[in-house]
Amino acid sequence: MQLRNLINKEELKAKLATTEEKRRTFSFYRYVKIENPQELRDELFIKWNNLGVMGRIYLAHEGINAQLSLPEKNFAEFQKELYSNTCFTDTPFKIAIEDDGKSFYKLTIKVKEKIVADGLDDTTFDPSNTGTHLDAENFNKLMDDEKTLVVDMRNQYESEIGHFENAICPDSDTFREELQIVKKLLRGKEERQILLYCTGGIRCEKASAYLKHEGFKNTFQLQGGIIQYAKEVKEKNLDCRFKGKNFVFDERIGERITKDIISACHQCGNPCDTHTNCSNDDCHLLFIQCAKCRTSYAGCCTPKCQEIAALPNEEQRLLRKGKNKTDCLSVYKSRLRPKLHAN
């Protein structure tokens, strides 16, 4: 009985690159009590692997968080099978905006302590007491109210390539870190209307409940996140208040919402909103790099990484032992990120 992927990454990516099969990328989540996440994990892996599902799925006692793709011909069967489990009946899907079917190359289902790492003790407040959910039209209306503060509940590397107009975009690298930053930024503004948004809605579910517990009574959140907002804006011909790209956690890295380019290459400062992972296998730092700098630096974040990436694989492996990203992260935060903010 196969309960995990047995083929290496290179083979899987090569196979996906050549397939002409139409696939659909989407995401969903649900906070719901799951008695035995490990048992459910194995059950889902068998069923979903047979349906050609690829993606990254997290299960915990508190629920499910899934980003995945599957052959379009199997979509109806997948939905029927998922909804047959009473834990997930009628769970809404957020369908990808830009999708070439190459978003994921393997199926990974992991059991975690939480479906989103937030660093909170859920026993100290009621996670189900969330903020009011708003569709795209009402989200726009509330944005126009001068009493409203719009807060981006994503990481800095997500918001720098795209965000809502006049949104507060905290300089954080993790959701755990951002929750505390946002609480401090909003302290003293408990009577204001707090409007939260994130990629698909899952981070706002926990953030809105936590902020309500902290005394922010007028808390609202964007239903379905940026993904659903972009879909509704297009369908209803609404004014799109989100500018730029929506960062996504798969092989696409980002999907374009508007033509606006609001960020810059971290190396030369020219307009750019294309993320890349440093080609040095000991680094893989995520940063913004234009096509010209990608050629100049061979897809690396610094000359040092470029030097290492050019070495024979065996020499790179020897250097990799005991190493980490500390040096590159230090350069990024001290030199590259300030350079971006100055433009």
Q: What is the pLDDT of residue 121?
A: 93
Same domain, 133 and 212: yes
Domain stops at, among 236, 251, 266: 236
Same domain, 130 and 71: no
Domain stops at, among 54, 78, 111: 111
Residues in Cβ contact with 258 at an 8 Å cutoff, skipping those fewer than 6 apart: 240, 242, 243, 244
In a domain, 7, yes or no: no
Which phi and psi (to 5°) does residue 208 adopt?
A: -65, -40
Same domain, 133 and 231: yes
Indicate which residue of 169, 198, 290, 301 is catalytic.
198
Q: 32-89 pLDDT, tens per residue?
A: 999 999 999 999 999 999 999 999 999 999 999 999 999 999 999 999 999 999 999 9
The 10 Å CB-count burial string (b at 16+, else e) for 321-337 is eeeebeebeebbeeebb
In a domain, 263, yes or no: no
In a domain, 6, yes or no: no
Same domain, 133 and 93: no
* pTM, 2 dp: 0.86
In a domain, 145, yes or no: yes
Is 328 known to be catalytic?
Answer: no
Is residue 244 within 8 Å of 258, Cβ to Cβ?
A: yes
Q: 304-339 pLDDT, tens per residue?
A: 999 999 988 888 877 777 555 455 555 555 555 544
Range of the domain at 163: 122-236
CA distances to 70, 126, 301, 302, 327 from 335, rounded to whole Å, are: 41, 41, 11, 11, 12
Residue 251 above 80 pLDDT?
A: yes
Identify which has the larger pLDDT, 333 or 295: 295
Give the domain CATH number at 48: 3.30.70.100
Mean pLDDT of 246-262: 94
In a domain, 245, yes or no: no
Q: What is the pLDDT of residue 102?
A: 87
Number of domains in the chain: 3
Give the domain CATH number at 139: 3.40.250.10
